[in-house]
Amino acid sequence: MHNLDQHDAATVQRTALECEAIAADLERLKMVIADAGDQLIASFNEVGVLSKQPTRSADEQRRLDRAVATAVTALQFQDMANQLTAHAQRRLTSLHETLSKLSDGVDPLLAHSRLQPVRQAGMGVGSIDLF
């Protein structure tokens, strides 16, 4: 193995950071999917029980409405999961380019943004700001 010069060492460090970021994206993805699954199962069970009742008290109707609302929130996981996977894919492409350049001895800069499109690590409801 050849000795890395200063330039190569910096690239390796950036590459390691990209790998770390991809791992974080995947971990977040795992949590989003797990959280959505838990919420959907809980909602499904609640709706399953309450919808079979011929009549419902006001409290039971509220619980049923709440279970449907929770399911609506949880079903948004696909959008968040898609963005996380797309972000990880962009990072992988960037890594691929970097490694290709490194092997040719060309300046390998990671061009893609580090801005994280999804910071949520679960399906808890997001914030609202009115301007």
Partner 1 sequence: MQSILAVDDSASMRQMVSFTLKGAGYNVIEAADGQEALEKARAQQVDLVLTDQNMPRMDGITLVKQLRSMHAFAGTPMLILTTESSDEMKAKGKAAGATGWLVKPFDPAKLLDVVKRVIK
**Closer to partner 1 at the Cβ: 27 or 100?**
27
Residues 10-69 that bind partner 1 (CB under 8 A): 69
Among the listed ranges 12-20, 51-59, 88-96, 120-128, the one in contact with partner 1 (CB under 8 A) is: 120-128
Among the listed ranges 5-13, 45-53, 95-103, 115-123, the one in contact with partner 1 (CB under 8 A) is: 115-123
Q: Distance between CA atoms of 107 and 8, rounded to whole angstroms?
A: 9
Listing DSSP states for 3-40 in one string gives PP-HHHHHHHHHHHHHHHHHHHHHHHHHHHHHHHHHHH
b/e burial code for range 40-56 (CB count within 10 A of at least 16 → b): beebeebbeeeeeeeee
130 contributes a contact to partner 1 by CB under 8 A = yes
Binding pattern for the stretch 66-105 against partner 1, x by CB under 8 A and - elsewhere: ---x--xxxxxxxxx-xx----------------------
Residues in the site for partner 1, rule: CB under 8 A?
69, 72-80, 82-83, 115, 117-120, 123-131
